[in-house]
Amino acid sequence: MTVHLKSPQEIKKMRIAGELGSEVLDFITPFVKPGVTTGELDALCHDYMLNVQNTVPAPLNYQPPGYSPYPKSICTSVNHQVCHGVPGEKKLKSGDIINIDVTVIKDGYHGDTSRMYYVGEPTIQARRLCEITYESMWLGIEEIKPEKHLGDIGYAIQSFAESLGCSVVKEFCGHGIGTKFHEDPQVLHYGHTGTGLQLKPGMIFTVEPMINSGKASIRQMADGWTIVTKDHSLSAQWEHTVLVTETGYEVLTLSAGVPPKPKFRF
């Protein structure tokens, strides 16, 4: 595993890309309401990225080995969809929850972030899952500082989510990011303290736990991209891109509309 430590100049560019990615989520927020289709949300984000930000939507035509090219500019994962939901003609309805995952490219550098949104009024169970997932992401981020290990991040996320009766999806993880969409290291959302790669200043990676209200088992849909829970239980995900600093961490995907850090319950 070769983890590229970013230079001050690269970090500056990653800050810009991260803020722009988060600003796309700010922009789309008022459009997430009953009756809109995920395809319409994709078109709005695509236009905003290209014509307002002058950024490139990284997911569009992205093709990792073994996959067909991803056909849209954002990912929209609704209710029991875990990740990589492909926008389409399905209309959102009141009570739905949706994850919108955005990655922009600016001057060759990637800004990757996602948020959960409530469509109308969520159920108590849906709101609870989204809040637990958000808190679990932040508990993982709070573990980030030099000399800590990737396993510390995963343990913080897993132990918290499972203590509240939820499950952690293990097949997908966070990742290093920079001039490439996905770089080393892989950032698992489960694990043991003191294990895994030791963190060093200049590392930049995502923390993006996928938490299910039911069992952790998942399956892939026929489109080759969309991942859903096998038991049809709700799933939620939040994502930030984070820099390891000399003394701790810096979240790079911040903007005016980003939700504040939660008040931890433990």
Assigned domain for 115 exists: yes
pTM for the whole structure:
0.97
Which pLDDT band holds residue 213 (cuts at 50, 70, 90)? very high
State the pLDDT at residue 93: 98
State yes or no: pLDDT of 107 exceeds 70. yes
* 126-184 pLDDT tens trace: 999 999 999 999 999 999 999 999 999 999 999 999 999 999 999 999 999 999 999 99
State yes or no: pLDDT of 60 exceeds 80. yes
DSSP states of 121-177: SPPHHHHHHHHHHHHHHHHHHHT-STT-BHHHHHHHHHHHHHHTT-EE--S--EEE-
Q: What is the mean pLDDT of residues 208-228?
A: 98
Q: How many residues does the chain have?
A: 266
Assigned domain for 1 exists: no
Helix (H, G, I), strand (E, B) or coil at 190: coil
* Residues of the domain holding 200: 8-251
State the pLDDT at residue 94: 98
SS (H, E, C) 59-84: CCCCCCCCCCCCCCCCEEEECCEEEC
Assigned domain for 214 exists: yes
Assigned domain for 262 exists: no
State the pLDDT at residue 264: 79
Instruction: Write the CATH number for 182.
Output: 3.90.230.10
Assigned domain for 88 exists: yes
Assigned domain for 222 exists: yes
Q: Tell me how far apart the alpha carbons of residues 206 and 185 are, in angstroms, rounded to a whole number.
A: 10
CB 81 within 8 A of CB 226: yes
Q: What is the mean pLDDT of residues 209-230?
A: 98
Q: What is the mean pLDDT of residues 16-21?
A: 98
State the pLDDT at residue 103: 98
User: Residue 98, by phi and psi: left (phi above 0), alpha (psi -120 to 50) or beta?
Assistant: beta
State yes or no: pLDDT of 265 exceeds 80. no
Assigned domain for 44 exists: yes
Q: Tell me how far apart the alpha carbons of residues 207 and 201 are, in angstroms, rounded to a whole number.
A: 16
State the pLDDT at residue 266: 59
State the pLDDT at residue 113: 98
Number of domains in the chain: 1
DSSP states of 86-119: PP-SPBP-TT-EEEEEEEEEETTEEEEEEEEEES
Assigned domain for 104 exists: yes
Which pLDDT band holds residue 1 (cuts at 50, 70, 90)? confident
State the pLDDT at residue 55: 98
Q: Tell me how far apart the alpha carbons of residues 175 and 111 are, in angstroms, rounded to a whole number.
A: 12
* 65-91 pLDDT tens trace: 989 999 999 999 999 999 999 999 999
Q: Tell me how far apart the alpha carbons of residues 100 and 29 are, in angstroms, rounded to a whole number.
A: 10
Q: What is the mean pLDDT of residues 234-250?
A: 98
